[in-house]
Structure 1
Amino acid sequence: MNDRLRPAHASRSVAVKARLDYPVIDTDVHVNDFAPALEDYVQHYGGAALVDALRKALGGRFATRDGAGRDWYQQTPAERQHNRTLRAPWWARVTRNTLDLATYTLPDLLAERLEEQGADYSVLFPNDVLAPAAAGDEFRQPLHRAINHFHADLYRKHAHRLTPVAGIPLNTPQEGIEELEFAVKTLGLKVINIAGGVRRPIAALAEKYPRAQHPEVARRASYTDFYGIDSPYDYDPFWAKVVELGVPITTHYGSQGWTGRSSISNYMFNHIGHFADGSQAFAKALFFGGVTRRFPGLRLGLLEGGADWGAHVYIHLVDRWEKRNRNAVQNYNPAHADLDLLASLFERYGSELTKGRPLNRETLLRDSLGISALPHSREPEGAELDDFAAAGIERVEDIRTRWLDSFYFGSEADDRTVGAAFNTRANPLGAKVNAIWSSDVGHWDVPDLTEPLAESWDLVEQGVLSPADFKAFVFGNPYRFYTEANPHFFAGTDVQRKLSTSTHGA
């Protein structure tokens, strides 16, 4: 190959890799689809109408529009203000680095350059695998099926070092089960990607403003169903099928457009932290809904948000449970106030406040606490009183098990906040959070495919991570994530071959 097109050089990451005696597993590589080849598969599954649906879904995936259907870039500043049109991303993919652009589109080139990147195995997230979620109900399932079939065929010959995820729709549990079984049993795919939530209409508003007559109200008046709590559907059959088939779940669920992330002018304002917020809502729903209690074998990778939020939530789950478990919450029950003692203390110390007025013992508690002391129509009981009831939390160790065992947190290579995952002094019970190395190559935050592993090693040299933390980050935690869901996940791969010749295991 022409040297100008394919420069042969030892990258910084190759130098880092040379000193390691264990494999490197990249849990998050984004690749592009060559549109004509993909559309051949889509055509097979649904003809020209499905191809058109794919193009519309791709064109509208990030776009927000006004009532006339014009996206942000077609509107004037005044129109954006009037419609509160969310600023969408732009220039989101690598282009100036043309070699990398081709690498993310050509599977043979990606497989060849994996050594240059410093990875032994990569899990691929084709950018188009997320597109069908933007399609209508009629097209969502066939689009998922066509796109998954295309990716399974495209990367099959590189299965020893590359595997693409299967996109799974979850508007209903049954829909998810059908596509999961097709992806795993028919196509042989072994990792799935889901949206962390589904937008649904608010029933009371949908009845008052039917979608056909009020499409704008229907578009804006909705809520997010995070599956695990407050859902109109029982998703347990889907989680059970995932565990039965031995499939790790991943998500890149974001929160752009949510309150606090809805700037009409600044993409970065909307972007920073949005993956962490979106995944946090999804993960908390599964925890508080008892999903991780009922399905302890479920393994979920929450990608692109970093691992520090996983430590943050773990710490606060413990803090809050200690203050508001079903016994401790009685500290705040108005019924347990000693009204005689309260009155005597007012008599002794409160003359400046009471100004000689006689104390009314019947209203003294209310007068002291304000409106928060007013009685409810009835007192909460059972699970209403204990927010941790469905999660089955009886002791701090249960929180550690049902949060830290189930969830793995994708951190990008240069993310210094990953240090929080390994901070055993701050994390309750001296625990470490499952940070997994997620390079995110293929997106705008990685302009050079060869840099991420070296950037993560820079954190060791800067004292953010220890060498042991680094090993857990790029190998140990990713290996456990996949093999705890499926012990045979790496059978026949470069990871298995490297481990078989190494004196150091997982």
Structure 2
Amino acid sequence: MCGSLMPRPLGDLAEVDPALARRFGWLDTLGLDSAYDYDPVWARCVDLGIAPTFHTGSRRYGLRTSPSNFVYNHIGHFGAASEAVCKALFIGGVTRRFPMLRVAFLEGGVGWAAQLYADLVGHWEKRNRDALEATRPDNLRVDELLALVSRHGDEAIIAAVEARAEQLANPPLDLVGGIADLDDFSACQISDAADIAGLFVDNFFFGCEADDRTNALAFNRSQNHFGLKLKAIFGSDIGHFDVLDMAGVLPEAYELVEDGLIDQADFRRFVFENPARLWAEANPRFFDGTAVEGQVRDLLRADVPTGAGAAH
């Protein structure tokens, strides 16, 4: 299990004011704009057959700092932390550079992951390298704009646009913070939206609690892009305040089947196949000597690599 959202100091603040530096800083998401190059870590994980798992909360940060209400701070905090790191690993190109790396985010559920997966596809379609041409200010046909405004606008709109006509015709092109490559997905080397599936669905696993009805979103092919299922994995949460009786955890998870939200095959994926794949795809011998050694071996033997999420 690994830490994430690593606190980093702001510049030289630690030297100037150590007390202040302990209160203010930034959070390193390990995959994008990081203080360090973590590629050697991911490479070593692959070499050793280790699937890193992240279990970090975010109750102390941002909008989860109520001094009076635990529930306010608690709801969604694991998901928010997981989303930040997962998004950074993806956009930072980690899964492109290390296609065999398997990563799990624990206890935050999979609802946030379903939204992130959809948002990545949607943003790539609007913000890929070619699509950005539609947002270049120097591609604006100013004469046509002025003609349309004159024909359809009221006096206030016409006056406002005409007052900016010179600026529109000669827009500044250096207001991008010195960033040379404006393609935010450049590290992913995506040529088609379907590439996102292979870089997301194959590599990421999502730990879910038994009582979370949004677990069903992982298995909703009609909703998830390209008809795929995300790799939700069952987590018991035994020992926490929300488990009053450990004997009721698995039956509670099975309520998704009883309520018609997932089927028996999806439940098997949830409690066995996806957890087995997390560890065994990283290290095929992980379950050797255990009670499920044979079942895991049969599962891996049955898997046929026919594209992103094909067997899942």
Matches within 5 A, 1:119-198: 193-198=1-6
Matches within 5 A, 1:6-85: none
The aligned residue for residue 463 of structure 1 is 260
The aligned residue for residue 485 of structure 1 is 282
The aligned residue for residue 142 of structure 1 is none
The answer on whether the counterparts of 1:229 and 1:288 sit within 8 Å (CA) in structure 2 is yes
CA deviation vs aligned residue, 1:190-244 (integer Å, no higher than 9, x gap): xxx001221010105345x331xxx1x1111111111111112111111111100
CA-atom RMSD in angstroms = 2.5
The answer on whether the counterparts of 2:59 and 2:77 sit within 8 Å (CA) in structure 1 is yes
2:97 aligned with 1:294: yes
The aligned residue for residue 272 of structure 1 is 75
Sequence identity (%): 45
Matches within 5 A, 1:162-311: 193-207=1-15, 209-211=16-18, 215=19, 217-311=20-114
Where structure 1 has 5 or more consecutive residues not aligned to the other structure, the ranges are 1-192, 367-372
**CA distance in structure 2 between the partners assigned to 1:225 and 1:429 by the alignment:** 31
**CA distance in structure 2 between the partners assigned to 1:358 and 1:383 by the alignment:** 30
TM-score, length of structure 2 as denominator length: 0.89
**CA distance in structure 2 between the partners assigned to 1:263 and 1:357 by the alignment:** 44
The aligned residue for residue 308 of structure 2 is none
Where structure 2 has 5 or more consecutive residues not aligned to the other structure, the ranges are 304-312
Which residue identity does 1:201 align to in structure 2?
P
After TM superposition, the structure 1 stretch with the greater mean CA deviation from structure 2, 344-353 or 356-365, is: 356-365
2:113 aligned with 1:329: no
Change (3 A) 1:378 1:271: closer
- The DSSP-based 3-state class of the residue aligned with 2:200 is helix
Change (3 A) 1:335 1:448: same
| Equivalent position to 2:196, from 395, 399, 404 | 399
The answer on whether the counterparts of 1:343 and 1:361 sit within 8 Å (CA) in structure 2 is no
The aligned residue for residue 409 of structure 1 is 206
2:257 aligned with 1:454: no
Change (3 A) 1:338 1:443: same
TM-aligned CA deviation for residue 271 of structure 1: 0.6
Change (3 A) 1:257 1:341: same
The answer on whether the counterparts of 1:200 and 1:224 sit within 8 Å (CA) in structure 2 is yes
**CA distance in structure 1 between the partners assigned to 2:122 and 2:152 by the alignment:** 33
The answer on whether the counterparts of 2:276 and 2:296 sit within 8 Å (CA) in structure 1 is no
CA deviation vs aligned residue, 1:374-414 (integer Å, no higher than 9, x gap): 63535679863100001222211221111111110001112
The aligned residue for residue 425 of structure 1 is 222
Aligned residues between the structures: 302
**Greater Rg by CA:** 1
TM-aligned CA deviation for residue 500 of structure 1: 7.7
CA deviation vs aligned residue, 1:429-478 (integer Å, no higher than 9, x gap): 00111000111112111122211111111210111111111011011111
TM-aligned CA deviation for residue 487 of structure 1: 0.6
The answer on whether the counterparts of 2:218 and 2:231 sit within 8 Å (CA) in structure 1 is yes
Q: Which has the higher contact order (CA 8 A, sep 6+)?
A: 1
2:123 aligned with 1:320: yes
Which residue identity does 2:272 align to in structure 1?
F
CA deviation vs aligned residue, 1:348-377 (integer Å, no higher than 9, x gap): 2235226779935743639xxxxxx96353
Change (3 A) 1:284 1:356: closer
The answer on whether the counterparts of 2:150 and 2:158 sit within 8 Å (CA) in structure 1 is no
The answer on whether the counterparts of 1:383 and 1:389 sit within 8 Å (CA) in structure 2 is no
